[in-house]
Amino acid sequence: MTAPLKHSASVTVDVALGDRAYDIVIGRDVLASLGERVAALRPGVRTAIVTDRTVAKHWLEPAEASLAAAGVPTSRIVVEEGEGSKCYATLTQVSEALIAAKIERNDLVIALGGGVVGDLAGFAAAILRRGVDFVQVPTSLLAQVDSSVGGKTGINSPQGKNLIGAFHQPVLVIADTSVLDTLSPRQFRAGYAEVAKYGILGDEAFFAWLEENHGDIFTGGAGREHAIATSCRAKAEIVSRDERETGERALLNLGHTFGHALEAATGFSDRLFHGEGVSVGMVLAAEFSAQLGMISNDDATRIARHLSAVGLPTRLQDIAGFTQEGLADADALLALMAQDKKVKRGKLTFILLEAVGRAVIANNVEPQPVRDFLQAKLKA
């Protein structure tokens, strides 16, 4: 697997969901085509852009200008940045603002931002007037390769991540890779964890390519578009076969059962970005798989070595404020895992590994071995 030698104009990935199919348009500077694409998709539509304060500084005016040039009226709704906005209060704020903007059922909500904005705006669209369509314009690497695709929307509960939400597919995704240039190195690294996830769970050749070419992705070379398109194709194929996560789609949660518990333990704060939690979670999942005899210790080490090489946390002890509440307590972490959406009758579901590039769904995992594993890792 090799990267293209130069940037292509754009790449389009189809999410094949029958009459709800939609395109993911990937490439540098494709944000400029937003208005033209929206106007072609929904002639005469009114729109409202939901974004956060940081993204608004860079990309709100270009998005509005593109819509205006295509004759598409729009209004703006700006929320605070960060995971804390995925809450009831901000959902109320956005919903009321959409109603005030007179967004009707044949109009469009545009989510301009990272995963938080996409989840929040998408959920508001799902419940507004019993369902309004929306467009995803993801501005973080994590959102471009993961959260903007597949229709998962929602907010957090104080008891756990993404426990309130709905499946609501977008009608279009515009992934402009040039907007990633404004991300901080830490934000970009966090998003890269989700790129690596696709190789780890189902494509060893892609993971090997990432081991050799990750530098080009971080510096904005043509490998960036290649990695994003490959990740989107992998997710689109799984979503098209299992939209509502009744089976195979659960594989996309590799690292998330551990990771979501860690995010909850750190209060959904900047102490641990989502992708950082997924990174630690994937290493824990690999090491737990090795402990169960499913993969070799060498495979688990290979995963941890690559994630560490790009600067991602790979151990519990790498998390800021590790000794603070919850993180150094195996029982507290296990209690947070018990709130995971995949728990059934008190039994945990984990995504484990049989090899690099081959993940499996492990149902009915008893809590005690997980607790013992965590306890050992906390002492490591």
Q: How large a percentage of the chain has pLDDT more than 70?
A: 95
Q: Is the pLDDT of residue 4 over 50?
A: no
Strands 152-157 and 160-167: antiparallel
We report the CATH number of the domain holding residue 331 as 1.20.1090.10
Q: How far apart are the first and last CA of the chain?
A: 37
249 is catalytic: yes
* Cα–Cα distance for residue pair 208/199, rounded to 1 Å: 8
**What local confidence, expressed as pLDDT, does residue 201 receive?**
98
61 is catalytic: no
30 and 172 belong to one structural domain? yes
pTM of model > 0.85: yes
Task: Report in angstroms the alpha-carbon separations of 123 from 15, 53, 60, 166.
Answer: 20, 19, 20, 6
Residue from 83, 245, 263, 287 carrying the catalytic annotation: 245
235 is catalytic: yes
259 and 374 belong to one structural domain? yes
Structural domain range at position 16 = 11-182
256 is catalytic: yes
* Cα–Cα distance for residue pair 289/8, rounded to 1 Å: 39
168 is catalytic: no
162 is catalytic: no
Residue 239 in any domain: the answer is no
And the tokens for 46? 């009114």
**Alpha helices, DSSP H only, in 180-241?**
185-202, 204-219, 222-241
138 and 266 belong to one structural domain? no
152 is catalytic: yes
Looking at the DSSP bridge assignments, the partners of residue 182 are none
Question: Ramachandran region of residue 70, left (φ > 0), alpha (ψ -120 to 50) or beta?
Answer: alpha
245 is catalytic: yes
How would residue 182 be classed by pLDDT, with cut points 50, 70 and 90?
Answer: very high
Q: How many domains is the chain built from?
A: 2
Of 167, 182, 197, the last residue of a domain is: 182
Lowest mean pLDDT among 56-60, 248-252, 264-268, 284-288: 264-268
Q: Which residues contact 373 (CB under 8 A, 6 or more apart)?
A: 284, 287, 288, 291
Residue 125 in any domain: the answer is yes
How would residue 3 be classed by pLDDT, with cut points 50, 70 and 90?
Answer: very low
Q: Which residues contact 180 (CB under 8 A, 6 or more apart)?
A: 139, 140, 141, 144, 188, 220, 224
211 is catalytic: no
- The arithmetic mean of pLDDT across residues 38-65, rounded, is 98
For residues 64 and 337, the model is more confident at 64
* Cα–Cα distance for residue pair 70/379, rounded to 1 Å: 59
Residue from 194, 225, 263, 287 carrying the catalytic annotation: 194
Of 139, 157, 182, the last residue of a domain is: 182
369 and 279 belong to one structural domain? yes
Residue from 260, 306, 341, 342 carrying the catalytic annotation: 260
How would residue 99 be classed by pLDDT, with cut points 50, 70 and 90?
Answer: very high
We report the CATH number of the domain holding residue 74 as 3.40.50.1970
How would residue 2 be classed by pLDDT, with cut points 50, 70 and 90?
Answer: very low
Looking at the DSSP bridge assignments, the partners of residue 153 are 166
Calculate helix-pair angle for 222-241, 204-219, nearest 10 degrees.
140
Residue from 37, 197, 233, 235 carrying the catalytic annotation: 235
176 and 74 belong to one structural domain? yes
Strands 348-355 and 358-365: antiparallel
